[in-house]
Amino acid sequence: MEAIQHTALVPVNGHARAVDHDDDDLLDRVRQYFREHCVHTADIKTAICQFYCVDLAELNGGIRAAEVAYARQMFCYLAYRYTFLSMASVGRKVGLADHSTVQHAIRKIEKRIAKHPLLADDVDVLHLKMLELTLIRRGVGRC
């Protein structure tokens, strides 16, 4: 069985380039790019829905199934980390009651990443997917 390769577009010298997610130096540049450029929550939601095979309506709704709740927690983690939104604003984007629920979600994801290092790879793949969606939205397109 062949291993699945995750690739995405990243900005390199003003042009989009397809790269593998194994490149640590590149991931550092991607993180820096996100810090410098505002990421839309719609791009984060799309990446989450595609990665976890969850419908947008489920992500935005109050469904408490474990896979949907985990995807919602990951959204909270990424949205708070890569946007300029408050915890309360992040929560409102997915129908959560208040900032304490978002705070709990962020802590839970951080603990899971610390306990299961492979989850850090999931986060890296989601970072690259968010960047790809951001570049496409900005008109850079695919290579």
CATH code at position 106: 1.10.1750.10
Say which residue the tokens 């410098």 belong to.
36
Quick: pLDDT tens for 7-23: 555 555 555 556 565 66
Length of the chain: 143
Structure tokens at 25: 């130096």
Number of compact structural domains in the chain: 1
**Which range among 37-41, 81-85, 88-92, 119-123 shows the weakest confidence by mean pLDDT?**
37-41
Q: Does residue 66 fall inside a structural domain?
A: yes
> Hey, is 4 helix, strand or coil?
coil
Quick: pLDDT tens for 31-80: 676 666 668 899 999 999 999 999 999 999 878 899 999 999 999 999 99
Query: Whole-angstrom Cα distance, residue 139 to residue 106?
Result: 31
**Which range among 41-55, 87-101, 107-121 shows the weakest confidence by mean pLDDT?**
87-101
Query: In terms of residue numbers, what domain contains 92?
Result: 7-137
pLDDT at 2 over 50: no
Look at residue 40 in the predicted model and tell me its pLDDT.
87
Query: Whole-angstrom Cα distance, residue 59 to residue 48?
Result: 9
Q: Does residue 143 fall inside a structural domain?
A: no
**Residue 69 DSSP code:** H
Q: Average pLDDT for residues 24-37, to the nearest whole number?
A: 69
Q: Does residue 131 fall inside a structural domain?
A: yes
What integer best gives the mean pLDDT of the chain? Answer: 81
Question: How would residue 5 be classed by pLDDT, with cut points 50, 70 and 90?
Answer: very low
pTM metric for this prediction: 0.72
Q: Does residue 98 fall inside a structural domain?
A: yes
Residue 10, strand partner residues: 17
Look at residue 135 in the predicted model and tell me its pLDDT.
81
